[in-house]
Amino acid sequence: MSEQEQINEVLATDYQAGFVTDIESDTFPPGLSEETVRKISRMKDEPEFLLEWRLKAYHHWLTLETPEWAHVNYPEIDYQAISYYSAPKKKTDGPKSLDEVDPELLRTYEKLGVPLDERARLAGVAVDAVFDSVSVANTFQDKLAEDGIIFMPFSKAVHAHPELIKKYLGSVVSYKDNFYAALNSALFSDGSFVYIPKGTRCPMELSTYFRINAANTGQFERTLIIADDDAYVSYLEGCTAPMRDENQLHAAVVELVAHDRAEIKYSTVQNWYPGDENGVGGIFNFVTKRAACRGVSSKVSWTQVETGSAITWKYPSIILQGDNSTGEFYSVAVTNNMQQADTGTKMIHLGKNTSSTIISKGIAAGRSQNSYRGLVRVGPNAENARNYTECDSLLMGDQCGAHTFPYIEVKNPTAQIEHEASTSKISEDQLFYCKQRGLDADDAVSMIVNGFCKEVMRQLPMEFAVEAQNLLSLSLEGSVG
Amino acid sequence: MKMLEIKNLHASVGDKEILRGINLTINAGEVHAIMGPNGAGKSTLSNVLAGRDGYTITQGEVLYKGENLLELAAEERAQRGVFLAFQYPVEIPGVSNIYLLKAALNAVRKYQGLDELDAIDFLSLVRSKLDLVKMDEQFLHRGVNEGFSGGEKKRNEILQMALLEPSLAILDETDSGLDIDALKTVSEGVNGLRSADRSIVMITHYQRLLDYIEPDFVHVLSDGKIVKTGDKELAKELEKTGYSWVQQGQAE
Ligand SMILES: Nc1ncnc2c1ncn2[C@@H]1O[C@H](COP(=O)(O)OP(=O)(O)OP(=O)(O)O)[C@@H](O)[C@H]1O
Ligand SMILES: [Mg+2]
């Protein structure tokens, strides 16, 4: 077998999270109108201000066109053919404890490696599990509440803390921001809400696990995280979906706010179903993630490991408003078969002495397309802003593509901007070298790729680094020989 | 015991025949030197023995410990004790040297039916091998060959050999690029690995190496064939006269 054939073989591996949970659910019929928006709001018994906001977003969305600047290709989405809400049927008003959660759902998360029971407690990670359009379980809420930390499904927070929602929702990503953000603002169903009070260090990792189960549904989740003065939180999200021949839409919005000296670490392991080797099926992942470093000396870092989705359109960004604030973006994006990823970040320097770091590692295999798109903007008042950008691409085989689109706009002459980029291939020399030392092709590829991504992987919380490494190996398995 | 038997081996790349009928038998415990002009096919022979893709074997056979070597995958040959010290060791950025060493040792141990070494035993084993080639421990934590000098890369190859304890080691120009002190150290390392159940093939352009590591046989490879075999005196003769006479002899 030639090296190329072996590469192809390593890449040809099954998606492990592709099963479907057989559960009864309440699902809206397909279709999108003002009534759909009202119905979602009604289902959740939302206060008037939120419905009004949703409706404004909806009417704004109607005026927008699908963005076409990304380096991705896909058939036009028929927004009338999608169902906008699906939730497992429940007897009561929502589970109060794990005992009330449908065991079928618990088993689903167990199978996905996200146990919600006692063992999860040992791991010291609080989990919010979102299944299609609703949160189905939320662990450690009470324990966290002792420290004044709020970690709950968005739909609950709307009732429990309407003043916070009112104050922060849309304050980082306005519903006018872009096509998908407007769509999300009108239709979002659930997600997580986190508030860390002044001077509090969140004692455990918080995580939300998103699962799309229902066919033909869109998932529009909304996450809002606020770290008040001197607070710290590390948050992780994970995502999977069953294997289906139809594409499914996922359009999330995540907003982060860091006040004075606060720090938010946000990590993503994105493993939505990527479609099969011919590009049939898979998730369309159109996500708007943005953080505001509002306070002085605040810090936000985004770390993402993106292995899934048929199409990824995602630019976790940071607005560095506070003086001396810091933004970091660490990304590994793997595309295989027919996957397309257009991902990167925006660092907007507004305050003085702000600094940002961008490390992006793109790995393309099969016939996939992998693009980095990044903007570094330095405003006129941002004295002494600094940015360091490094984006590296690794190609496996000769049928895939890697692209970089860096944009730099500097309006203050004191700025220091550094940009480095490289493109390399896993060489036959490297593979043969590893094999000559006794490693088989899969182990060799996984070792070389993990070496390539090391700077990013070590940013992940320990608990998830191992999972992410395995995922990398799995998604590239069969890609060489 | 016969370690390696190469019988009438012909190998091509595309239409180009590079090995044109090699015959060579190596017994356990022997050290053989292969010399010969640039482009003669020395590295090709080592690559074919190690199982690199891209060569077509058109004739002949190779037995390793009595088994058909050519039908094994490269990693299987390595696991069974065939080791190639590369003429140009490869850089693997971001993968720490110690990680590769551990993965390689475990692959061999797995084939031998042994358990993986735990971290502490592994580290003390590696440290003892570092001493052998006089390498600093910091090299364990750098990327594999990443930014290593030419000489450091060659030493690193011998470090790997010392750790993996192969039955058949092929050293492709391990001496080139070494300064005089390093040549001595590396030679001492290799001599320390000489044993009755290990065979060593050294490819070199310089007689000097053979002063340090005394071979049992010296072969001259030219134009894809072994054209002359002798003892270490042959190397001295070559040093004086060059290859023109063997090549002429071949034309007759
Ligand atoms: N992949 C290849 N494609 C085409 N020609 C090749 C290939 N590999 C080797 N050759 C040719 O085969 C011949 C032998 O090469 P090889 O590297 O084995 O020589 P060598 O004896 O090791 O030389 P040196 O002493 O310079 O290291 C050379 O002419 C080389 O150009
Ligand atoms: Mg050579």
Can you tell me the mean pLDDT for A171-177?
A: 93
pLDDT tens-digit map of B1-36: 899 999 999 999 999 999 999 999 999 999 999 999
Residue A28's nearest CA partner among A216, A299, A292 is: A216
Scanning B111-150 for CB atoms below 8 A from A yields 111, 143-144
CA angle, residues A278, A77, A254, in degrees to nearest 5: 95
Inter-chain contact B78–A432, Cβ cutoff 8 Å? no
Scanning A218-257 for CB atoms below 8 A from B yields none
Residue A450 has pLDDT above 90, yes or no: no
Can you tell me the mean pLDDT for A209-220?
A: 76
Beta bridge partners of A436: none
DSSP string, A245-303: SSEEEE--EEEEEE-TT-EEEEEEEE------TTS-SEEEEEEEEEEEE-STT-EEEEE
- Rounded Cα distance between A330 and A465, Å, is 13
**Distance (Å) from CA B43 to ligand 1 centroid:** 7
Residues in chain B: 252
Residue A90 has pLDDT above 50, yes or no: yes
Residue A95 has pLDDT above 60, yes or no: no
Residue A481 has pLDDT above 50, yes or no: no
Residue A352 has pLDDT above 90, yes or no: yes
Which residue in A361, A437, A480 has the most chain B C-beta atoms within 10 A of its own C-beta, making it the best mutation to test that interface? A437
Can you tell me the mean pLDDT for A281-300?
A: 93
DSSP string, A332-373: EEEE-TT-EEEEEEEEEE-STT-EEEEEEEEEE-TT-EEEEE
pLDDT tens-digit map of A319-351: 999 999 999 999 999 888 888 889 999 999 999
**Min Cα–Cα distance to chain A from B99, Å:** 9
Contact indicator for A396, A365 with CB cutoff of 8 Å = yes
**Maximum separation of any 2 CA atoms in chain A, in Å:** 68
pLDDT tens-digit map of B57-102: 999 999 999 999 999 999 999 999 999 999 999 999 889 999 999 9
Residue A218 has pLDDT above 90, yes or no: no
Can you give the pLDDT at residue A104?
73
Instruction: Kindly state the helix (H) or strand (E) to which residue A171 belongs, with its residue range.
Output: none
Residue A94 has pLDDT above 80, yes or no: no
Q: CB under 8 Å to A146, separation ≥6 — which residues?
A: none
Contact indicator for B235, B218 with CB cutoff of 8 Å = yes
> Does the predicted TM-score (pTM) go above 0.90?
no
**Cβ of B46 less than 6 Å from ligand 1:** no
Can you give the pLDDT at residue A280?
82
- Rounded Cα distance between B106 and A20, Å, is 38
**Min Cα–Cα distance to chain A from B238, Å:** 32
Q: What ligand 1 atom has the least distance to the C-alpha of B54?
A: 1
**Cβ of B13 less than 6 Å from ligand 1:** yes
Instruction: Give chain A positions within 8 Å (CB) of B108.
Output: 438
Can you give the pLDDT at residue A374?
93
Pairing of strands B92-96, B143-144: antiparallel
pLDDT tens-digit map of B101-118: 999 999 999 999 999 888
Q: Which residue has the tokens 């996984």?
A: A446
Helix/strand/coil for A405: strand
**Min Cα–Cα distance to chain A from B180, Å:** 27
CB A69: neighbour CB atoms within 10 A? 8
CB B23: neighbour CB atoms within 10 A? 13
Which position has the higher pLDDT, B220 or A91?
Answer: B220
Contact indicator for B79, B73 with CB cutoff of 8 Å = no
- Rounded Cα distance between A361 and A454, Å, is 9
Residue A261 has pLDDT above 90, yes or no: yes
**Distance (Å) from CA B87 to ligand 2 centroid:** 6
Can you tell me the mean pLDDT for A421-425?
A: 86
Contact B160/A at CB under 8 A: yes
Residue A344's nearest CA partner among A421, A249, A398, A449 is: A421
**Which of B18, B19, B87 maximizes ligand 1 atoms within 8 Å of its Cβ, making it the mutation to test the pocket?**
B18
Contact indicator for A282, A312 with CB cutoff of 8 Å = no
Q: What is the crossing angle of helices A48-61 and A34-43, to 10°?
A: 150
Q: Which residue has the tokens 């070298």?
A: A433
Contact indicator for A217, A188 with CB cutoff of 8 Å = no
Lowest average pLDDT, out of A18-27, A334-343, A424-433, B211-220, goes to: A18-27
Inter-chain contact A439–B75, Cβ cutoff 8 Å? yes
Residue A1 has pLDDT above 60, yes or no: no
pLDDT tens-digit map of B135-185: 999 999 999 999 998 889 999 999 999 999 999 999 999 998 888 888 999
Complete domains list, chain B, with CATH: 2-251 (3.40.50.300)
Q: CB under 8 Å to A31, separation ≥6 — which residues?
A: A80, A83
- Rounded Cα distance between A274 and A260, Å, is 39
**Cβ of B73 less than 6 Å from ligand 1:** no
Can you give the pLDDT at residue A99?
66
Encoded tokens for A422: 């490289």
Which position has the higher pLDDT, A8 or B192?
Answer: B192
Inter-chain contact B108–A438, Cβ cutoff 8 Å? yes
Residue A316's nearest CA partner among A254, A368, A364 is: A254
- Rounded Cα distance between B39 and A336, Å, is 39
Q: CB under 8 Å to A78, separation ≥6 — which residues?
A: none
DSSP string, B177-191: T--HHHHHHHHHHHH
pLDDT tens-digit map of A23-44: 777 788 888 899 999 999 998 8
